[in-house]
Amino acid sequence: MARGLAEAGADILIASRHEAELVAAVADIGQGLQSRVQHSVTDLGRRGEVERLATRAVEVMGRIDILLDDAAIFPTMPLAQLTDEIWDQTLQVNLTASLELARALAPGMIDRRWGRIIHVSSVSARVAGREQLAYAMTKAAACAMIRGLALELGPHGITANAILPGPFLTDMPATLSEEFRRAVGERTMLGRWGQPSELAGLAVLLASDAGSYITGAELVVDGGLIARL
């Protein structure tokens, strides 16, 4: 998605916990483009670092018009094994950090009367997956957050939307068994898992003036997975 936004002309700042991965991603995103691409090493599981990221982003980029938030952790376990520590960390990364970033960056968007907030949720917000309770709860709550942001910020020219990906070949599915991954891919209407690049078009639409009348929406991108019986 970051590469797609850069190809559309956006300057980019990306954040994650791992410096080496960020450096490599910056090179890939900016290759052959004029867009400026920066990075910030940040652990969204720590509340103080979320505020620091927002401050650094404004300092480095000058202004933030588009917030695209796709950080998540994906614990898989039965309810009896869901500890307070795992729940608190999942809630922080998957939901609280998103709210903190929106709260920190929305005032600048309000001042300019233009902004885009895009949260990457999941089809798990709509359908249940075995041993995915904590993940699904946080992703569903994030959709409620997006609706609230859309309502509050709409009068200021700011849209807020959620993208609900289905099975995509990111690092996250690595925790799932090969048998489960194969079964999920076969269940989609396209008979396969999605490539991360297949989310870029929707991200660009929502971030641009072409998507200026789309807000408060939950847009499913899942190869038809949850639309079939």
pLDDT digit string, tens, across residues 174-219: 777 889 889 999 999 999 999 999 999 999 999 999 999 999 999 9
pLDDT at position 178, please?
87
**How many whole angstroms separate alpha carbon 141 and alpha carbon 134?**
11
Residue 96: which domain range?
A: 65-227
Residues acting as catalytic residues: 122, 135, 139
**How many whole angstroms separate alpha carbon 26 and alpha carbon 3?**
9
Give the residue among 224, 44, 217 at the shortest CA–CA distance from 143: 217
Indicate whether 9 belongs to any domain.
no
Indicate whether 33 belongs to any domain.
no
Indicate whether 204 belongs to any domain.
yes
At residue 208, the 3 state secondary structure works out as: coil
Indicate whether 5 belongs to any domain.
no
Label residues 116-151 b or e (16+ Cβ within 10 Å = b). bbbbbbbbbbbeeeeebbbbbbbbbbbbebbbebbe
Residue 171 has pLDDT above 90, yes or no: no
Indicate whether 92 belongs to any domain.
yes
pLDDT at position 193, please?
96
Residue 87 has pLDDT above 90, yes or no: yes
Q: In what order do the strands lie in the sheet with 218-221?
A: 66-69, 115-120, 158-165, 218-221
| DSSP secondary structure letters along 36-99 | -EEEEE--TTSHHHHHHHHHHHHHHHS---EEEE---------GGG--HHHHHHHHIIIIIHHH
Q: Are 99 and 69 in contact (CB under 8 A)?
A: no
Indicate whether 98 belongs to any domain.
yes
pLDDT (average), residues 155-174: 92
Q: Find the CATH number of the domain harbouring 218.
A: 3.40.50.720
Indicate whether 95 belongs to any domain.
yes
Indicate whether 131 belongs to any domain.
yes
Q: How many domains does the chain have?
A: 1
Per cent of the chain over pLDDT 70 is 100
